[in-house]
Amino acid sequence: MEYSVDDANKQIIIRTVVMLVTAISAIIVFALLIFIHELGHFSVAKMVDIKVHEFAIGMGPLLAKFKKGETMYSIRALPIGGYVKMEGEEEASTDERAFRNRPLWARIAVIVAGAFMNLVLGFVIFIILTYMSGGIVEPVIGELMDNMPAQKAGLMPGDRIVKIDNTKINIQDDIRFYLMYSKDKPIKITVKRNGKILAPFEVTPEYSEESQAYMLGYKAQVVEPTLMNTLSNSFYETIFYSKIVLFSLGELITGRVGFNQMSGPVGIVKEIGTAASLGIAPLLMLAALISINLGVFNLLPIPALDGSKIFFLLVEGIRRKPIDPEKEGLVHMIGFAMLILLMILVTFSDITKLIGS
């Protein structure tokens, strides 16, 4: 097949537009997530009267800055992070407003605030997505499918699934996730029918070739969003995806998920570009998932992450004596170097997959 010059030019224009959309979308998403995270640290630091020298979005070379009061606000070249530089955070200081000289609870609050704000952002995005979708899928049986497990077990339309085995069910995603790992094993489903909790029904899920998933055999009930059910559903969606992050980490540590399945900056940018090409809703959904991932991961006790700093503060509280700033700084420096190495390896894996696709 031959292509004309006009066809070639059109292809170049299309690829250029796709690259621009991907780049702009990625920058917006990364900047938003970094800003929200650092805003959490910054806001609480100001609230507990800690001196903040710099509030930075990005890392590396300085692009722009301005100063207001005692704090410099800056934008830096590499959109891979940010920081809030506080007096006495990484070194000893005699200033009474230094980080290390503030009460223990105040310091813990400052560190936790960044991850907490990422979780809040995920929650807010889920609220927006709920109203955009116009409906909430509830863990309630709307319509039974003939000769499928739910019907055979005696479940009825209107039954609200409240528990599977010993796991509480809050949203429909809880059911899908449980079935994904229980597969075709018999499960006990507890439902609420006409305001009463019934004895568990024993159900054996069946695999659907069409859906490529194990199913109970019903269509879930969809209701219109109200303020209360939107807040409730968004809250439990945030909790659900937070658990998914921890579960995925466990799968990685135990070797059930390979290292090559992880995504670094290149892989995330690619996914952001794909989501952006599908519309605002998929892009918002991906932003929510990345934000929740960032929030949960940052709370893990890994050196250089917020969770490690919280761990050192808790140790200080237990032993009632500050840890040597230089020793703590060395631990964080080693952790940071390991994280950078991991990022390089994952980025190399991303690029390899991108070239091979």
38 catalytic residue (yes or no): yes
DSSP 8-state symbol, 106: H
End-to-end CA distance of the chain: 23
State the virtual CA torsion across 294, 295, 298, 299 in degrees, nearest 10: -150
Q: Distance between CA 34 and CA 165 in Å, rounded?
A: 39
Alpha-carbon dihedral 292, 293, 298, 302, rounded to 10 degrees: 160
Contact in structure between 206 and 184 (CB atoms under 8 Å): yes
Would you call 227 exposed, middle or buried from its count of C-beta atoms within 10 A (0-12, 13-18, 19+)?
A: exposed
Residue of 38, 89, 237, 328 marked catalytic: 38
Distance between CA atoms of 228 and 236, rounded to whole angstroms?
A: 12
The closest of 136, 275, 151 to 218, measured between CA atoms, is: 151
Q: What residues are annotated to the active site?
A: 38
